[in-house]
Structure 1
Amino acid sequence: MAEPLVRVDMHVHTRASYDSLNTPDAILRGMDAIGLRWIVVADHDQLDLALRMRETAPDRVIAGEEVRTAEGPDLIGIFLTERIPRGTPIRRAAEMIRAQGGVVYVPHPFDVRRRGGGEQHLRAIEDLVDVVEAHNARTWGPGVNERGEAWARERGIPLGAGSDAHTVGEIGTAYVEVPAFAPDRASFLAALRAGRVGARGTSSRVVAAYSAYAKVHHTVFGMKEGD
């Protein structure tokens, strides 16, 4: 009998992101509540809290970073050990991710409202892309997720999916279902190739207001990465 697939939300933010207030403990409790096995923590231009969460829950948390590149688009590095500086040119950022043994993951590639790169920037790193986000739960434009999925499928690139959760309630809105894997580049990519996009939920647009509130909160009270 085949082993059950595990669920991975490949795009989650913590309070280390300027537009989120999610604490590590709340995130792990949220995962427990919905039976989510793994998350990729991908804070905006930050890595420290993701690394600390990985140390605390190494069988549940994968450390990543969502980097704002020099050209504008966001790029996620998975399995990172060192932060990629904000403003790094997109191709250099992809190379730096690979040099760490990481996975180059393109989030919301055609959602220009949310720093998707589109065809021009995808072409610049096409040979370095490991995974494309086929579904992002915060992408609301019609057909936008589908364009990213089609681009990946045409090139035989594995598909990812994530909630892009900036609030705990969003976690698990979108995820992939994959065979069990070791937390490293080769095993994870093999699992994605054998897996599937398991949920394609869409978050309420209300969550945008929570992110706006988080930005104000951080501005007034400062960034705090702990619980």
Structure 2
Amino acid sequence: MKLDLHVHSRYSKDSLISLKSLKKKSLRTGICPIITDHNTIKGNIAYNCPILAEEISTLDGHVIGYFLTEHIRPKLTAIETIELIHEQGGLACIPHIFDNVRKNSLNDKEIAKKSDIIEIFNARVQRHSHNNLALDFAISNRKLKSVGSDAHWLPEFGKNYIEIEDFNSVKEFKKNLKKANFFTQRNSILYLIGTKFYNDTIRRII
């Protein structure tokens, strides 16, 4: 199966992707989105994703929780958030790590060592060196690896995904992720700029 492990829907305040349009593109591309909205699991549940997930804003940067059973409140420390994810039997992933262009990236290596997965390629990261640092960190610390589009606009979805064998449990997912195939393509910086403009200007007006 093909999964994009990092996708935002309209349930994220800075995303313009409707669930309906996402479903249509998913059917067309054969890629299943794992919706990781900011600080909410409502979009993920409404879409009926095979993995319950969300991207959580912590005091130290963003952390994604996979295989959650319930929402995790934001604005805790990253360590506290990772512990809560683990208490639910889930997996903690650090997205766009070391991307110092974005203020919400976690850059603390000691905290990252507590996670299960490192996102080694984020399609919105504009400097190859930052994704390379993520890959090096994952390898040196023997972490599971993932990639994601971090899509906030529909055209961003469908270019970055993993091809993984079917799984029925967290244990199977971890096992299959180790041998998954990754497909990556960097998205235009215009989408990142557009998201910032929408979030800072347009959303305040409407």
TM-score of the superposed pair, with normalisation by structure 1: 0.84
Among 41, 66, 71, the residue aligned to 1:83? 71
Is 1:133 aligned to 2:119, yes or no?
yes
Identity %: 26
8 Å contact kept, 1:40–1:78: no
Q: In the alignment, which residue of structure 2 is the partner of 1:225?
A: none
Contact 1:158–1:189 (Cα < 8 Å) also in 2: yes
> Distance between the aligned counterparts of 2:203 and 2:68, measured in 1?
25
- Give the drift of 1:47: 1.4
In structure 1, C-alpha distance between the alignment counterparts of 2:178 and 2:134, rounded to whole Å: 17
Alpha-carbon distance in structure 1 between the residues aligned to 2:67 and 2:42: 13
Aligned equivalents of 1:145, 1:208: Cα separation in 2: 16
Instruction: Give the alignment partner of residue 189 of structure 1, picking from 153, 156, 174.
Output: 174
Corresponding residue for residue 144 of structure 1: 130
TM superposition shift of 1:144: 0.7
**Which of 186, 195, 198 is residue 211 of structure 1 equivalent to?**
195
Within the candidate set 84, 90, 96, 1:108 is matched to 96
Q: Does 1:123 align with 2:110?
A: yes
Among 12, 15, 21, the alignment partner of 2:10 is 15
Tell me by how many angstroms 1:109 deviates.
0.8
Kindly tell me the number of residue pairs found equivalent between the two proteins.
Answer: 204
CA distance in structure 2 between the partners assigned to 1:81 and 1:219 by the alignment = 32
What is the letter of the counterpart of residue 175 of structure 2? A
1:80 is paired with a residue whose SS is: coil
1:161 equivalenced with 2:150 (yes/no): no
Q: Pick from 96, 101, 104: which aligns with 2:84?
A: 96
5+ long unaligned stretches in structure 1: 1-5, 222-227
More displaced 10-residue stretch of structure 1: 13-22 or 206-215: 206-215
- The AA in structure 2 aligned to 1:9 is D
Distance 1:192 1:181 in 2: 10
Aligned equivalent of 1:35, options 30, 50, 65:
30
Alpha carbons 1:47, 1:63 under 8 Å: kept: yes
- Of 45, 52, 63 in structure 1, the residue corresponding to residue 46 of structure 2 is 52
In the alignment, which residue of structure 2 is the partner of 1:176? 162
Q: Secondary structure at the match of 2:73?
A: coil
In structure 2, what is the Cα distance between the partners aligned to 1:163 and 1:64? 15
> Structure 1: how far apart are the matches of 2:10 and 2:198?
9
Runs of 4+ in 1 over 2 A off after TM superposition: 212-221
Tell me the TM-score normalised to structure 2 length.
0.92
State the structure with bigger RCO (CA 8 A, min sep 6), 1 or 2. 1
- Alignment-derived partner of residue 19 in structure 2: 24
Query: What is the alpha-carbon distance in structure 1 between the residues aligned to residue 205 and residue 84 of structure 2?
Result: 34
**C-alpha separation in 1, matches of 2:100 and 2:52:** 25
Note the C-alpha offset of 1:86.
1.4
Aligned partners of 1:181 and 1:191 also within 8 Å: yes
Kept after mapping to 1: 8 A contact 2:94/2:112 = no
C-alpha displacement of 1:134: 0.9
**Unpaired runs of at least 5, structure 2:** none
What's the CA shift for 1:62? 2.4
The answer on whether the counterparts of 2:8 and 2:17 sit within 8 Å (CA) in structure 1 is: yes
Deviations 1:100-128 (A, max 9, x none): 1111111011112222222xx231251x3
Amino acid at match of 1:10: L
Superposed displacement of residue 94, structure 1: 0.2
Distance, in Å, in 1 between the alignment partners of 2:154 and 2:204 is 21
Q: Which amino acid aligns with 1:99?
A: E
